[in-house]
Amino acid sequence: MSLAALAPFEIIHPRHGNAPLVVASPHSGRNYTAHFLKQSRLTPFALRRSEDCFVEELLQHAPDYGASLLHATFPRAYCDANREAWELDPSMFRDTLPGWCNTSSKKVKAGFGTIARLAGSGGLIYSRPLDFEEAEYRIRGCWYPYHAALASLIDGSVEKHGVCILLDGHSMPRQGQREQADFVLGNAWGTSCAPEVTTLVEDILMAHGYRVVRNMPFAGGYVTRHYGRPRKGVHALQMEISRHLYMDECTLQRHQGFSSLQHVLSGIMAELAKLGYRMASH
């Protein structure tokens, strides 16, 4: 089955109520089609190292607290929804890229544009150049529908409540030694959300004994910076979760810490929903 036959995202709507909270996972998709695998020089396992494995499952109780949960079904290695639409590396393509493409961003130069050159493991994904038509197919078929859905959820919350908190969920490889962060909260250096949003999440995590830092090394990607507009009522916070807390990074399997972390994250979403209602009432 081609990706064209699959919905590029899934939305799980609230079971009860409609809180001013949207929860999203743009990088946990794992529909690796035969066509994509044939294009890649890497094994499916190597490609999966680009995933934010199981993040949508960690956040799956969002609808219990009145929040919509949006997650991509396409893999990050196939198309990255946390980039601009057209951040493309010209060295990856046979033909000349259109002038509207951003070919010089830091992410492109690092190998991680909208269509990535490298997998999370650092390996080259493709053994031969792609046609621009391939990038256009992926971006129009995956990136645009995902962002149309996200924008619709945010706009709906703002229309109903005058405010929306967006929690953008990600995972990260373990950052070196044990004293490194368990969570990195990215608020684009204080510009993408009101201070109380970051502080609420940080306080809950620290109360559970987690090591939390802000903005280093992840201050927030395209989603956080594009949608976070506090003056317009939209408060976006990126949350990076260290994978060692809930999975074996070598086997890519969940371990015994998964359920306890899921419980903590559910508590965070419950409190963010309450904060959203308080912000809406002012």
pLDDT-derived band at 15 (thresholds 50, 70, 90) equals: confident
CB 25 within 8 A of CB 67: no
Q: Which of 10-24, 114-128, 169-183 has the lowest mean pLDDT?
A: 169-183
| CA 185 – CA 239 distance, rounded (Å) | 5
Mean pLDDT of the chain: 95
pLDDT at 48 over 50: yes
Q: Give the CA count within 13 Å in the CB-facing half-sphere of 275.
A: 24
- SS3 for 187? coil
| CA 151 – CA 134 distance, rounded (Å) | 25
Short-list 23, 87, 79, 94, CA closest to 55: 23
What digits encode the pLDDT tens for the residues 229-257?
999 999 999 999 999 999 999 999 999 99
In the chain, where are the structural domains located?
Answer: 9-280
pLDDT at 4 over 60: no
- Within the chain, how many helices (H) and strands (E) appear? 9, 9
* The two structure tokens encoding residue 76: 């990050």
pLDDT-derived band at 122 (thresholds 50, 70, 90) equals: confident
Sign of CA dihedral 271, 68, 166, 33: positive
DSSP class of 140: I
The fold for domain 9-280 equals Aminopeptidase (3.40.630)
